[in-house]
Amino acid sequence: MRPMFASAGASRSGWGPRRAWVPRAATWAMLAPAVGLAVTLAVMLAVAVGAVDGGSVRAATAQSARAPRTAGRAPGDSAPGDYAPAASVCPDSTTPRSTGSPPAGSGRTIHVPGDISTIQAAVDSAHAGDLVLVASGTYHEAVLVCTADITIRGADRNATILDGQSQLRNGFTVLADDVVIENMTAHHYLGNGFFWTDQTGYRGSYLTAYDNGDYGIYAFGSTHGQFDHSYASGSPDSGFYIGQCFPCDALITNVTSEWNGLGYSGTNAGGNLVIENSEWDRNAAGIVPNTLDSERMPPERGTAIIHNYVHDNGNLDAPAFALERPPLGIGITVPGGDFNYIADNRVERNSLYGIAIIGNVDANFWLASGNVVTHNVIRASGSADLALAAPIGANNCFSDNQATSTLPPLLEVTHACGTPLPLNGGGDFGITEKLLARFVNASGPNARIRDYRTVPAPAPQPTMPGVDGPTGPIFTAAFPSGLFGQGALPTAVAPGGAAMLAPLGFTGYSVVQILLSLYGNLLLFALYAAWLAVAFVELAHRDDLASGRRLGWGALVVGVPILGPIVYYFAGGSKLSQRFRLGLVVGAPVLCLVITAILMVIANFTL
């Protein structure tokens, strides 16, 4: 493009020597955004291949869900290392596995404190098929469950209370298969209210977890489970969490999560994983499945987020660790996640974005690819109802949403589902820059983190019906029919290969997606900025126009998008050469679009 502009010198324009610099200024106006983009991409690619140490970013994000945390701990708290889940093991250091069916003669009901005085002693004495029924009262216990196939139930959800007194690590730590916990409350634990780790089979129903130092209701490395009719608040990481599993074969339904760092977090989790029919409000951010290198099995993929009410997130007063601050004000986002299905949600009054598809940086930069956003109602978002960050992967599509504003503009046109257009990753680099800046600020010495212990206790929650009834199965709610298909991924997502699941690097897929972001999105906006810049510079030097006419043309150029500058260049008496004007208005955009089309064809072979 430089030769085209260089040819528009003084002799061609007829302006005389003092005005020959105007086309050169246009050249720099167009090149400046590209130079800035090149610097940004160089840094991101350097991080992706390890050329940059990553320093504080890796150090901060390397806190896995299983590691002790110090951020957000109030002065005077016990050292948080004593609640690290890895410190809890069953007596024989093995994970008790389910036998598949309770043995004959089981099915006792053990009353606490009627039969046995403590929950821990009752659990230790239980056998497969037994019910531990805990009476109303306050219990200062940290219960370790090492017996498979048992149910632990409170007599009254709001009156059967485990209180960690900000000294004990977890309310429950479950290290056995097929353990159900129902109808009770856990609060003020240094770690988690209810915690299952490395199990097959789990359920948490009618639980309340508030003001705990890490997560509220939490399953890690576990599969085949359900959280339902439960409530979580005051957790500086997230209220609900399912992490490090694929396929997870898990369901979260009819829950409420508020006043947490994240309403839901699911690192490297997915596959037959449904989050549905729940309310997520007044958290720092709402529903946030995500990819990190600090846990095994990246990336996050294959989560269905459907029929939720996600509103009023962006709560600056909610307790939140530094890692939970970047998505502040986003209702639903999938940092670095792939092949997720986000549909039929009502997303309202979130302070930044309603639904955002973004990448995520840890030891690697993870592109988000293949996500489908459809049939959602999004309104009253702070910056945009729908957002797509850059750099981003292929096949993120948006269709049939009720949304007023999008970033980039016209997102449902440029990335419509069912068309080849989402192959052009596109996206807005400003979104990524903003989130990275937030992380840096939140990691600084002046970041304020609320003491999780000071979040107000919730109002009484609905108690479980049929408390005196028999125990139930792991799944009491059905998975939505036909939602998932081959590979445990939602049937609505487009197929893709292993390249889409890899982090950003010097691969064919990554390079093509970065080039598509450049030619198919950013350079087109840079070109339009150049149209405006050249028109204003020329108008400022046109002595042949009266000041009123110059003002009128200027108003047309800025007030009528796209058509205004075109009308000025070809009907406003512009003194620029015809070759220059055609190159600027027609040639450069056509060149970008042709290159974009070629790259989209190539992209099909890199997925």
Mapped to the 3 state alphabet, what secondary structure does 510-559 carry?
HHHHHHHHHHHHHHHHHHHHHHHHHHHHHHHCCCCCCHHHHHHHHHHHHH
pLDDT score of 373 more than 70 = yes
Other CB atoms closer than 10 Å to residue 537's CB: what's the count? Answer: 17
* Burial class of residue 101 (count of CB atoms within 10 Å of its CB; 0-12, 13-18, 19+): exposed
3-state secondary structure of 81: helix
- CA torsion, ordered 104, 114, 227, 73, to nearest 10 deg: -130
pLDDT score of 7 more than 90 = no
Rounded CA separation 238/254 (Å): 17
pLDDT, average across residues 336-358 = 98
87-96, 222-231, 235-244, 384-393: least confidently modelled range: 87-96
Which residue segments constitute the domains of the chain, with CATH numbers given?
2-49+505-603 (no CATH), 80-454 (2.160.20)
542-560 pLDDT, tens digit each:
989 998 999 999 999 999 9
* Burial class of residue 556 (count of CB atoms within 10 Å of its CB; 0-12, 13-18, 19+): middle
* Burial class of residue 453 (count of CB atoms within 10 Å of its CB; 0-12, 13-18, 19+): middle
Rounded CA separation 41/398 (Å): 25
pLDDT score of 75 more than 90 = no
Rounded CA separation 118/348 (Å): 45
pLDDT of residue 447: 79
pLDDT of residue 101: 58
217-235 pLDDT, tens digit each:
999 999 999 999 999 999 9
pLDDT score of 126 more than 90 = yes
**Helix H or strand E encompassing 508:** helix 508-517
Q: What is the 8-class DSSP label of residue 576? A: S
Q: Place 10 in a pLDDT band, splitting at 50, 70 and 90.
A: very low
Rounded CA separation 111/152 (Å): 10
415-467 pLDDT, tens digit each:
999 999 998 888 888 999 999 888 888 888 887 889 999 999 999 999 999 99
14-23, 292-301, 500-509, 584-593: least confidently modelled range: 14-23
Q: Which residue has the tokens 């085949």?
A: 224
271-325 pLDDT, tens digit each:
999 999 999 999 999 999 999 999 999 999 999 999 999 999 999 999 999 889 9
Instruction: Compute the mean pLDDT over every residue in the chain, rounded to the nearest whole number.
Output: 86
Whether the CB-CB separation of 421 and 396 falls below 8 Å is answered with no
3-state secondary structure of 323: helix
pTM of the model: 0.84
CA-derived radius of gyration, the chain: 28
Rounded CA separation 24/58 (Å): 43
CB under 8 Å to 389, separation ≥6 — which residues?
A: 356, 357, 358, 359, 368, 427, 428, 429, 431, 432, 435
3-state secondary structure of 46: helix
Whether the CB-CB separation of 183 and 157 falls below 8 Å is answered with yes
52-66, 256-270, 481-495, 502-516: least confidently modelled range: 52-66
Q: What value, to the nearest 5°, has the Cα angle with vertex 185 and ends 183 and 187?
A: 165
pLDDT, average across residues 154-180 = 98
Which of the pair, 56 or 231, is modelled with greater confidence?
231
Rounded CA separation 551/529 (Å): 19
